[in-house]
Amino acid sequence: MTATRSPAVAGTFYPADPAALRQQIAGFLAEADNAPPAGQAPPKAIIGPHAGYIYSGAVAARAYARLAAAHGTITRVVLIGPSHYVAFQGLAVDTADAWTTPAGTVSLDTEAIAALRQLPMVGELEAAFTREHALEVHVPFLHQVLGDFRLVPIVAGNAPPEAVAAVLDALWGGPETLIVVSTDLSHYLGYAAARQTDAATAAAIERFDTGAITPMGACGAGPTNGLLLAARRRGLTIERLDLRNSGDTAGPRDRVVGYGAWALHAPETPAREMAVDEEQMAVEALAEGLIQLVRTGIALGFDTGHPADINPHAELPPRLTAPGAAFVTLRRNGLLRGCVGSAVATRPLIVDVVQHAFNAAFRDWRFPKLALDEWAGLELSVSVLTAPLAMAFADEASLLAQLRPGTDGLVIEDSGRTALFLPSVWEEVREPRQFLTLLKLKAGMPATHFSPGFAARRFRAIEVKGPMIGPSVPGGPPGDSLRWTPLQRPA
């Protein structure tokens, strides 16, 4: 093929005349009036639609208006969307050197594309680009907002989210790289049904629920789920910018297509550190209460054989009812006797702690159920985890250099295998390379394993400790007197 790819849908999806195209995009951006809040950094990624401009251009502009301040900063765009005309497995990259549209010519990042070809799920497929509009319609917007940049276009066939996330991780870069996911939402429903379906899809996108976004709800479900998976690992936040359909813009309402626009933002380190400090104060203020939850939860577990229930009428501190992720650890004579927990906050902290207290005592597969004669010698700890923050690194040496012994907990993930170490592991393993090697082995990976899809997230843990025998649990065996107000006997 020629070195420069010509446009496939100029004159149909958007104007073929350069002046008319610039004028139309400028009108969309002016109508969007969507400048970012003062001090907010440009998005790391955006999600936007790919229909004809008269239908979806105004919605796409809501995302592109957020990039105005990034002119001259963003120099590379990773653009990924679904295949509409060719069915294939995996992800396709282009063999061209440049793309041209009426807005101008953009060079492809051929070095990055060559590196992607080394990944097993990525191949070259000319047919995937010949007629495809899902990527092309974004390029004039990018030209007008960003000016000069290099492009990495990717068409997604049947590719699982993990494969898409691995490709995005390999291209993630820093503030110079923008990721654009192209997708429309529901197709050809009636207006009311489309609004209901699109609202459900939008809610799933905003809670990073990759299991709830399907091709019926978004034609670019594969690229969208892959971005959300990578973004969730890296601690990005998401902001809805627009949600409409063709019945709201330029079409009839009997058969509409849904459109949405979102911006994803990287976490700000200073704000995160402040949040960690606030979390530490909140958890430490609850230290005795958390230990009593574990004591009473284990006591009622002995008595009933089931996790304790939460008293719905109890007045609880706000931090206990807010989402939280915790690990409960039991030790006896200095040796581990049980440890169970959550890496991500998905339920109220009190529920997480009480469930893990029971599981650490009676369901940790590495140990037999806790026996009554072990009661008096138990030492308890509750570690409340901060939200995991994705780490950016080019190789294993870069990852190791960023680890903070004694401070960082670490979650690693690759090809469906994952494992976690709490910061307390540094008490026994003080050298970063050994720490990472043991974590790989825990995940079932070879000690020397590293790949472009290798992901790591670090977190901190606020730990509180106490003995099993305490104010809520006297030295005798469990019984009806062993209660703490928020807990009650299982129904």
Average pLDDT over the chain, rounded to an integer: 91
Determine the pLDDT at residue 235. Answer: 80
3-class DSSP state for residue 411? Answer: strand
Q: 472: which 2 tokens?
A: 């809520």
Residues 164, 303: one domain?
no
Give the pLDDT band of residue 390 (cuts 50, 70, 90): confident
Determine the pLDDT at residue 401. Answer: 83
Name the residue range of residue 116's domain: 4-266
Determine the pLDDT at residue 483. Answer: 58
Residues 256, 334: one domain?
no
pLDDT above 70 for 27 = yes
Domain count, the chain: 2
Q: Are 315 and 289 contacting, i.e. CB atoms less than 8 angstroms apart?
A: no
Residues 258, 139: one domain?
yes
Tell me the one-letter amino acid at 363. Answer: R
Give the end of a domain, one of 231, 266, 301. 266
- Chain-centroid distance, C-alpha 350: 24
Q: 116: which 2 tokens?
A: 């992607």
Give the pLDDT band of residue 363 (cuts 50, 70, 90): very high
Determine the pLDDT at residue 391. Answer: 82
Q: The domain that contains 400 carries what CATH number?
A: 3.30.700.20
Residues 254, 276: one domain?
no
**Higher-pLDDT residue of 39, 434:** 434
Strands 45-48 and 256-265: antiparallel
Q: Are 224 and 211 contacting, i.e. CB atoms less than 8 angstroms apart?
A: no
Residues 254, 280: one domain?
no
Q: The domain that contains 123 carries what CATH number?
A: 3.40.830.10
pLDDT above 90 for 2 = no
Q: Are 213 and 221 contacting, i.e. CB atoms less than 8 angstroms apart?
A: yes
Q: Once rounded to an integer, what is the mean pLDDT over residues 249-258? A: 96
- Express each pLDDT in 71-106 by its tens digit: 989 999 999 999 999 999 999 999 999 999 999 999
Q: Are 152 and 129 contacting, i.e. CB atoms less than 8 angstroms apart?
A: no
**Higher-pLDDT residue of 40, 438:** 438
pLDDT above 90 for 402 = no
Determine the pLDDT at residue 475. Answer: 55
* Nearest-angstrom CA–CA distance, 209 and 229: 9
Determine the pLDDT at residue 478. Answer: 54
* Nearest-angstrom CA–CA distance, 141 and 278: 41
Max Cα–Cα distance, the chain, nearest Å: 86
* Nearest-angstrom CA–CA distance, 405 and 429: 9
Determine the pLDDT at residue 377. Answer: 85
Report the percentage of the chain scoring pLDDT > 90: 70
Give the pLDDT band of residue 481 (cuts 50, 70, 90): very low
HSE-CB at 335 with a 13 A cutoff on CA atoms is 5
Tell me the one-letter amino acid at 451. Answer: S
Determine the pLDDT at residue 480. Answer: 47
Task: Report which of 185, 191, 163 is spatially closest to residue 258, judged by C-alpha positions.
Answer: 185
Residues 285, 141: one domain?
no
Q: What is the pTM of this model?
A: 0.60
- Chain-centroid distance, C-alpha 147: 29
Q: Where are the alpha helices (DSSP H) in 331-406?
A: 349-362, 396-402
Q: Where are the alpha helices (DSSP H) in 172-253?
A: 191-206, 221-233, 246-249
Give the end of a domain, one of 266, 298, 327. 266
Strands 150-156 and 76-82: parallel
Residues 212, 248: one domain?
yes
CB atoms within 10 A of CB 255: 14
Residues 262, 281: one domain?
no
CA distances from 120 to 160, 230, 349, 373 (A): 13, 18, 40, 55
Cα torsion 211, 80, 155, 452 to 10°: value is -80
Q: With left for phi above 0 and alpha for psi between -120 and 50, is residue 354 left, alpha or beta?
A: alpha
Q: Once rounded to an integer, what is the mean pLDDT over residues 466-478? A: 65
Task: Report which of 23, 29, 21, 15 is spatially closest to residue 241, judged by C-alpha positions.
Answer: 29
Tell me the one-letter amino acid at 169. Answer: D
Residue 150's DSSP bridge partners are 76, 107
Residues 281, 251: one domain?
no
Residues 228, 361: one domain?
no
Residues 261, 275: one domain?
no
Determine the pLDDT at residue 314. Answer: 86
pLDDT above 80 for 1 = no
Determine the pLDDT at residue 472. Answer: 52
Report the percentage of the chain scoring pLDDT > 70: 94
Determine the pLDDT at residue 434. Answer: 95
Give the end of a domain, one of 248, 266, 284. 266
Q: Are 420 and 461 contacting, i.e. CB atoms less than 8 angstroms apart?
A: no
Instruction: Identify the burial level of 100 via C-beta atoms within 10 angstroms of its C-beta, where 0-12 means exposed, 13-18 middle and 19 or more buried.
Output: middle
Give the pLDDT band of residue 283 (cuts 50, 70, 90): confident
Residues 168, 64: one domain?
yes
Q: Are 80 and 171 contacting, i.e. CB atoms less than 8 angstroms apart?
A: no
HSE-CB at 197 with a 13 A cutoff on CA atoms is 22
Look at the block and give the residue holding tokens 């401009």: 53
3-class DSSP state for residue 302? Answer: helix
* Nearest-angstrom CA–CA distance, 406 and 420: 15
Q: 306: which 2 tokens?
A: 């089931």
Strands 487-488 and 177-182: unpaired
Under DSSP, the state recorded for 421 is E
